[in-house]
Amino acid sequence: MSITIKKAKLKGRRLTLDYFRSVEGGSDTISVKCANQVHPDLLAAMDKLIPHFILLCELPESTSLAIELIARQMDEIDVSEFPKIQVTGFSIGGDDEDEGLTIIGSRLLEKGKTLNINSPFTKYDVEDYQYADELNLAVQINSWICSKIRTQMQMIRLLHPEKKYRYRKNRKKAERKNKLNLKRFLQLKCYGTKTSIYRKNRKGISSTV
């Protein structure tokens, strides 16, 4: 059984993956969300897409980047020089020689707001994009790391099935706590003090949910 990563997207430091899994007679499309924070290697690999993102979207930084690329290779670019740019994912489409991708990212604006941007779909073809080979390599590295994360998730679920529900339990626990706090707040508003709540509870009005 083989898998093919089709889309990866970060929200904060948590990853959502879409991938194809080959089965007899076809393939399944599966989407998974990682409850744990991703490994720094994936964040570093995503950063390698920043120069491509700048050029493909023709962002203001593309002029200075193009000048740097005259004397330096794409993998030598220091992405820390572009603090306003962030790449949060990619989506792979097409087949065979028509395969390419869309880069998902954002740019921080002058007033502090964030502009979400998707790059144009770009084939791994030098005629379509000058740095297509470097782009293809960067995406392969990202896809390889994502597939390793997906395998690790499966191993955790097999070895520790109870961890599968940890996030859901914590979320329900937080929801119950919020309901309890809201009910206590309403009781304080209605009866005035904690003492009066205690007296009401003694008469049978419960403050728990």
Report in angstroms the alpha-carbon separations of 203 from 138, 155, 191, 194, 207.
68, 53, 14, 14, 12
Two tokens, residue 9:
């997207």
Report in angstroms the alpha-carbon separations of 124 from 3, 25, 96, 105.
20, 28, 10, 19
If one counts every other C-beta atom within 10 angstroms of the C-beta of residue 39, the result is 15
Q: Which residues pair with 7 in a beta bridge?
A: 18, 91
pLDDT at 189: 43
Report in angstroms the alpha-carbon separations of 111 from 81, 84, 205.
20, 12, 51
Q: Is 198 helix (H, G, I), strand (E, B) or coil?
A: helix
Handedness of CA 96, 97, 102, 103 (dihedral sign): positive
N residues, the chain: 209
pLDDT at 155: 61
- Torsions phi, psi for 166 (to 5 deg): -60, -50
Two tokens, residue 15:
């990853």
Two tokens, residue 129:
């994009």
pLDDT at 183: 54
Give dist(CA 8, CA 104) in Å, integer: 9
pLDDT at 185: 46
Each residue's pLDDT, cut to its tens digit, for the chain (209 residues) gives 677 888 999 988 888 888 887 777 767 788 888 877 888 888 999 999 999 999 999 999 999 999 999 888 898 899 999 999 999 999 999 887 888 899 999 999 998 999 999 999 998 887 878 899 999 999 999 988 888 887 776 665 555 444 444 444 455 555 565 555 555 544 544 434 443 443 444 444 444 33
Two tokens, residue 30:
């599966």
Angle at 125 between CA 129 and CA 15, to 5 degrees: 80
pLDDT at 29: 81
pLDDT at 107: 95
